[in-house]
Amino acid sequence: MPYRPHRSERIGHGVDKVEFLRLLGEHLKPGDLLSAEEDVRPYECDGLSAHRAVPWLVALPDDLDQLRAVVRTCRTHGVPVVVRGAGTGLSGGALPLDNGVLLGLSKFRRIIEIDPANRQARVEPGVRNLAVSEAARRYGLYYAPDPSSQIACSVGGNVAENSGGVHCLKYGLTVHNLAAAKLLTMDGELLELGGSAPDAPGYDLTAVICGSEGLLGILVELTLKLLPLPDAAHTVLAAFDSIEQAGRAVAEIIGAGLIPAGLEMMDNLAIRAAEQFVHAGYPIDAAALVLCELDGILPQVEADRDRACAIFRMTGASSVRIAADPAERARMWAGRKSAFPAVGRISPDYYCMDGTIPRRRLAEVLGAIGRMAKAYGLAVANVFHAGDGNLHPLILYDANRPGELEQAEALGAEILELCVAVGGTITGEHGVGSEKIEQMCIQFSAAELNQFHRLKLAFDPAGLLNPGKAIPSLHRCAEFGAMHVRGGRLSHPDLDRY
């Protein structure tokens, strides 16, 4: 389905494409500058395939000089820019513009330096997430954030989205693991944010860059924190007869003072899909399972594991299993990590949501999602980063049935609004992008959105970077609000409607 940006977020320009190609061609090799339909078509979407737009032009610079030249040319002519890393994002953050340059950083893939003494890696943004840990391994170190796409996704994209993974509760998100970043602004300034030493002077701009979805600047170099590889990791799988029990078990684990490296939950539909797909040895009759991983030095891991097992039994687990060896541990995780493709096998299409809720509301939220799904006539499988309250409902649908995608999107929007209503957020780790931009109107007031726009303009005064993503215009919200009158109260009543 072609995606149409909201007209209030469109950056108009009267630049002639042929002339602009000539200008960029002064700096880029012919193969690095794409404009023919068949060449630019592969860039029409990122991991959110429901939103597509054929880019006006694609530029793939080799180095910083070429990148600067592209940026300068776009800035001079007022042409908007969308930056793309590996294109694995799930919220349409790298969705192109039909009148803008899609700027691919895939050639910026050098690991510049591993500094084992200070436990840091200096890398270019196109380096794959997993490649950082692979390069650090010989020093006994690794890079902790591990989004499920870590084989393919780039660290530049991880910073732009503030990616998480299954180990966030203990090791944090990208924002906790980024020491420094070099940022090229649309005005051509190369800024060094943060540093190899913590607590950089001035404002905490590395924090602002994390999760900024390509709206503030172009990342050209990152310094990532590395951690020592744990000596030991033990994984426990507990099955429960109800979601409520599983939710209580998770709360008890945290309440008892344990911070597991991973604490994941799956519901019955997700369990069955994963079991069919990878034969992880999951109990397919269970209403919910909890995977709990503990890591560190061995005596710590053993103590934590025993406490976790005791808590699972006390909270009524129907079975508690400790992975006997690395192979079984890998199988247990394979089921969880393949939950998305596994659901993809039992349904022609699925739509992955990403809300966060206060953990105590879990049973209530899953119950409500079940009822909403029923009303839409769709099935929903749930996987849950239980430790940090990040819920991934997977809505099953068939795009070939007329209207079903729209139904799935409508259900998804209702789920996100529910997350906000219970005190959570519309996105825990996938980002807003184009996908959830309208739900931003629900989570934030006009004054709050205005403040976000002001902050963006401090970095990107002409507003050329990734317009129409992450932060909605107030006009978009006004129109969205007109369709979404809640309790008789119109949001953004001060704005014109058109």
The pair phi, psi for residue 251, each rounded to 5°, is -60, -40
Alpha carbons 284 and 233: distance in angstroms, whole number: 25
Tokens representing residue 148 in the block:
């499920």
Considering beta carbons, is residue 275 or 302 the nearer one to another protein? 302
Instruction: Tell me which stretch binds another protein (CB under 8 A): 5-13, 81-89, 95-103, 173-181.
Output: 173-181
Residue list 147-166, contact with another protein (CB under 8 A): 161-162, 164
When binding is defined by CB under 8 A, the residue of 454, 489, 494, 498 that contacts another protein is 454
Question: Does residue 296 belong to the site contacting another protein (CB under 8 A)?
Answer: yes
Cβ neighbours for 242, distance < 8 A, ≥ 6 positions apart:
287, 288
Contacts with another protein: how many residues (CB under 8 A)?
Answer: 99
Tokens representing residue 431 in the block:
């980002």
Q: If we measure between CA atoms, which residue out of 254, 238, 201, 281 comes closest to residue 388?
A: 254
When binding is defined by CB under 8 A, the residue of 58, 67, 131, 210 that contacts another protein is 210
Cα-Cα-Cα-Cα torsion 313, 319, 320, 325, nearest 10 degrees, comes to: 170
Fill in the per-residue mask, 97 to 136: x = in contact with another protein (CB under 8 A), - = not in contact: ------------------xxxxxx----------------
Give me the least distance between CB of 347 and another protein, in Å please: 26
Question: Does residue 372 belong to the site contacting another protein (CB under 8 A)?
Answer: no
Give me the least distance between CB of 18 and another protein, in Å please: 34
When binding is defined by CB under 8 A, the residue of 41, 110, 137, 140 that contacts another protein is 140
Give me the least distance between CB of 426 and another protein, in Å please: 5
Give me the least distance between CB of 25 and another protein, in Å please: 29
3-state secondary structure of 450: helix
Beta strands in 175-300 (DSSP E): 178-184, 190-194, 218-225, 227-228, 232-240, 262-267, 288-296
Considering beta carbons, is residue 379 or 446 the nearer one to another protein? 446
Residue list 9-68, contact with another protein (CB under 8 A): none
Considering beta carbons, is residue 167 or 331 the nearer one to another protein? 167
Considering beta carbons, is residue 107 or 307 the nearer one to another protein? 307
Cβ neighbours for 121, distance < 8 A, ≥ 6 positions apart:
111, 113, 114, 115, 132, 135, 136, 143, 223, 224, 226
When binding is defined by CB under 8 A, the residue of 14, 30, 31, 202 that contacts another protein is 202
Question: Does residue 382 belong to the site contacting another protein (CB under 8 A)?
Answer: no
Cβ neighbours for 321, distance < 8 A, ≥ 6 positions apart:
236, 237, 238
Q: Find the helix packing angle between 362-376 and 404-421, rounded to 10°.
A: 160
Alpha carbons 251 and 318: distance in angstroms, whole number: 18
Residue list 334-363, contact with another protein (CB under 8 A): 356-360
Q: If we measure between CA atoms, which residue out of 108, 106, 25 comes closest to residue 64?
A: 108
When binding is defined by CB under 8 A, the residue of 2, 30, 31, 201 that contacts another protein is 201
**For residue 466, what is the DSSP state?**
S
Give me the least distance between CB of 303 and another protein, in Å please: 4
Alpha carbons 59 and 185: distance in angstroms, whole number: 17
Considering beta carbons, is residue 73 or 162 the nearer one to another protein? 162
Q: If we measure between CA atoms, which residue out of 144, 169, 177 comes closest to residue 359?
A: 169
Cβ neighbours for 146, distance < 8 A, ≥ 6 positions apart:
129, 165, 166, 167
Q: If we measure between CA atoms, which residue out of 239, 242, 247, 187 comes closest to residue 218?
A: 187
Considering beta carbons, is residue 44 or 293 the nearer one to another protein? 293
Considering beta carbons, is residue 116 or 367 the nearer one to another protein? 116
Fill in the per-residue mask, 410 to 449: x = in contact with another protein (CB under 8 A), - = not in contact: -------------xxxxxxxxxx---x---x--xxx-xx-
When binding is defined by CB under 8 A, the residue of 284, 297, 421, 482 that contacts another protein is 297
Considering beta carbons, is residue 139 or 376 the nearer one to another protein? 139
Q: Taking the CB of residue 239, how many other CB atoms lie within 10 A of it?
A: 22
Give me the least distance between CB of 292 and another protein, in Å please: 15
Count of CA atoms in the C-beta half-sphere (13 A) of 115: 14
Instruction: Tell me which stretch binds another protein (CB under 8 A): 5-13, 168-176, 394-402, 407-415.
Output: 168-176
Give me the least distance between CB of 402 and another protein, in Å please: 32
Instruction: Tell me which stretch binds another protein (CB under 8 A): 79-87, 169-177, 375-383, 406-414.
Output: 169-177
When binding is defined by CB under 8 A, the residue of 62, 63, 192, 406 that contacts another protein is 192
Fill in the per-residue mask, 390 to 409: x = in contact with another protein (CB under 8 A), - = not in contact: x-------------------
Considering beta carbons, is residue 183 or 237 the nearer one to another protein? 183
Give me the least distance between CB of 308 and another protein, in Å please: 12
CA distances, 283 to each of 239, 315, 317, 334, 345 (Å):
7, 17, 12, 15, 19
**For residue 460, what is the DSSP state?**
-
3-state secondary structure of 174: helix
Give me the least distance between CB of 211 and another protein, in Å please: 4
Residue list 232-261, contact with another protein (CB under 8 A): 251-252, 254-259
Alpha carbons 448 and 451: distance in angstroms, whole number: 5
